[in-house]
Chain A
Amino acid sequence: MSVPRFWRRLKNLYNLIGTQCKKCGEYHYPPRTICPKCRRSSLIVPYKFKGLGEVLTYTIVHSAAKDYAKHTPYILAIIRLDEGPSLTSQVICDHADIHIGMKVKSTFRKLGEESEKGMIYYGTKFVPLATPPRKD
């Protein structure tokens, strides 16, 4: 992704800021400008998600595109946030521990980098809620 394209989404990626439709109450992450339920009568406001959720499904990626190749193998997952919507992210944990239904919480990590010279992209990944026993 180019620098302006990442920058435009940076607050969303750093802080899990999505949207909520005040008309129907539905939460969206990624953010949307139109509520899929209310469409033109939607009342969209930004919403900061709590960062808690559950693994809906996952895979361990062994073969990745260029920017991610050095991070393989990594866990890619679809996470259903407590507020409702689901998103795609990575889960940082022992590969033997990952499972469907695992409770997770958000953490701040590097997503990737363009090259040794290029921009570094940061954003939200997830770690298990239960281990290690840290109080957040």
Chain B
Amino acid sequence: MRDVAIIGVGCTEFGELWDKSFRELFVEAGISAIEDAGIQGGKIDALYVGNMSGGRFIEQEHIGSLIADYAGLASLNIPSTRVEAACASGGLALRQGIIAVASGYHDIVIAGGAEKMTDVDAETTTDALAAAADREWEGVMGATFPGLYAMIARLHMHRYGTTSEQLASVAVKNHHNGMMNPKAQFQHEISIEAVLNSVMVADPLHVFDCSPISDGASAVVLAPAEVARKYTDTPVYVKASAQASGTLSLHDRRDITTLDATVVAAKKAYNMANVTPSDIDFAEVHDCFTIAEICAIEDLGFVRKGDGGKASQEGMTAIGGKIPINTSGGLKACGHPVGATGVKQAVEITMQLRGEAGKRQVDGAEIGLTHNVGGSGGTAVIHIFGRER
């Protein structure tokens, strides 16, 4: 197995991008990643693209071929593979790319993710996202995605005394971070009161507790670590890539408030990178809902189970806090074009480790972690990156 490095990153702006199509978005992200890496298209050995639901959102399957073709790579006939694990599709595409380079099968690989969610109405989007849960035993009973996470939140509040204000503090913090990210969907502050007064989606989650519906794409260029410095002065090294599965349905979990997939993937990742949670300087975690970030920082071992709400409220996860979480604005404020999210997290970590994160730069960032979840916790993908090999 070879060590792997990120030698280039690219990301479109996230948001309601009415004038841009799916293929245009991916090409934009891919081109900027390649330009960032300073490589020629002919160097690319393989493409991996995370995409949750082209079939539902744009009535398009066979995304791998589409992307290779419109990236102008059709004449090179390189392998191009679509990867799907609901909202973890991007993180998983990244992991497939890393495995391909690490194994020696390929040298230069583009791992990207893209989703175009705004071409259909909101009810269709809700239904397409609900397909990440168990259609036969959750969806048919009227379960929505916010509904599932709301049930996690309800039990978390009941068991640990977590409050709506603590949930809201996650949204407030991520909006604050998003304000400093020119690619973010929301670049404005919100207040605790604004969250609490916003429309209820699934009690106790308000609309401002939820990540938005977004369009966007992101991509990274991967290369063997030993040659990374040929392409860039600031390679970012992949120290761990871990993935775990949990039950598809929330109701089958050992504990409703714990994503076992996250716990197990984190343990594997920490072992692989030979670090502990306290060694992580900052992280991009899967905050599809405010409660998801609270569970994530607990399940990743940054705080004790049950302390996530309090830690968020007290500023532990803010930039400048003990462990800055979601400096990009997270899914909540940066936006959540489902398939793109997992790769965008790696883009953010790379920019931070390179010291290119501008106003939201984390001082002394050496080791960063990404955490990408599919569904209500059926899949978790965790990566750890470092400035040093």
Partners in one complex: yes
| Across-interface contacts of B1 in A (CB, < 8 A) | none
Interface contacts beyond A60-B200, A63-B126, A88-B138: sample of 7 additional A-B pairs, CB < 8 Å, sorted by A: A1-B135, A69-B123, A87-B137, A88-B143, A100-B155, A112-B142, A123-B141
| Across-interface contacts of B204 in A (CB, < 8 A) | 59
| Across-interface contacts of B205 in A (CB, < 8 A) | 59
The answer to whether A61 and B251 have CB atoms under 8 Å apart is no
| Across-interface contacts of A71 in B (CB, < 8 A) | 142
| Chain B 187-233 interface residues, beta-carbon cutoff 8 Å to A | 199-205
Q: Which of B26-34, B144-152, B307-315, B319-327 contacts A (4 or more CB under 8 A)?
A: B144-152
User: Which B residues contact A (CB, under 8 angstroms)?
Assistant: 123-124, 126-127, 130, 134-144, 146-147, 150-155, 158, 199-205, 249-252, 256
Question: Assuming the A-B contacts A65-B126, A66-B127, are A59 and B251 also in contact, with contact meaning beta carbons closer than 8 angstroms in the complex?
Answer: no
Question: Assuming the A-B contacts A88-B251, A90-B141, A121-B140, are A59 and B256 also in contact, with contact meaning beta carbons closer than 8 angstroms in the complex?
Answer: no
Question: Assuming the A-B contacts A86-B251, A111-B142, are A61 and B136 also in contact, with contact meaning beta carbons closer than 8 angstroms in the complex?
Answer: no
Distance of B117 from chain A, by nearest CB (Å): 15
The answer to the question of A76 belonging to the interface, with a C-beta cut-off of 8 Å to chain B, is yes
The answer to whether B140 and A112 have CB atoms under 8 Å apart is yes
The answer to the question of A135 belonging to the interface, with a C-beta cut-off of 8 Å to chain B, is no
Question: Assuming the A-B contacts A65-B127, A65-B130, A78-B151, are A60 and B203 also in contact, with contact meaning beta carbons closer than 8 angstroms in the complex?
Answer: yes
Q: Within the assembled complex, what's the spacing in Å between the Cα atoms of A69 and B121?
A: 14
The answer to whether A68 and B142 have CB atoms under 8 Å apart is yes
* Secondary structure type dominating chain A contacts: strand
| Across-interface contacts of A59 in B (CB, < 8 A) | 147, 150-151, 153-154, 202-205
The answer to whether A78 and B250 have CB atoms under 8 Å apart is yes
The answer to whether B154 and A57 have CB atoms under 8 Å apart is yes
| Across-interface contacts of B135 in A (CB, < 8 A) | 1
Partner of A61, one of B140, B153, B202: B202
What 1/0 flags go to A37-77 for Cβ under 8 Å of B? 00000000000000000001111111111101101001011
| Across-interface contacts of B137 in A (CB, < 8 A) | 30, 87-88
The answer to whether B252 and A76 have CB atoms under 8 Å apart is no
The answer to whether A100 and B154 have CB atoms under 8 Å apart is yes
| Across-interface contacts of B202 in A (CB, < 8 A) | 59-63, 76
